[in-house]
Amino acid sequence: MEKIGLNVPKSFIVHTIEDAMDAGDKIGFPVIVRPSFTLGGTGGGVAYNRQELREMCTGGLDLSMTTEIMLERSLLGWKEYELEVVRDRKDNVVWSWRDPARLYTSPAAPDGYRPPHRRFR
Domains and CATH numbers, the chain: 2-73 (3.30.1490.20), 82-118 (no CATH)
- CA-closest candidate to residue 93, choices 112, 79, 77, 66: 112
How far from chain centre, in Å, is Cα 11?
10
Query: Using CA atoms, how far apart are residues 44 and 34, in angstroms rounded to an integer?
Result: 5
Question: In this predicted structure, what is the pLDDT of residue 13?
Answer: 96
Q: What angle do CA 43, 46, 50 make, to 5 degrees?
A: 95
Instruction: Return the C-alpha torsion angle 98, 103, 105, 109, nearest 10.
Output: -40
Contact 90, 71 (CB under 8 A): no
DSSP output for 34-101: EETT-GGGTT-EEE-SHHHHHHHHHHHHHH-TTS-EEEEE--TT----EEEEEE-TT--EEEEEESSP
Task: Please give the model's pTM, rounded to 2 decimal places.
Answer: 0.64
Q: Using one digit for the tens of pLDDT, what is the confidence trace for 22-71?
A: 999 999 999 999 999 887 778 899 999 999 999 999 999 999 989 999 99
Q: Using one digit for the tens of pLDDT, what is the confidence trace for 3-32?
A: 888 888 899 999 999 999 999 999 999 999
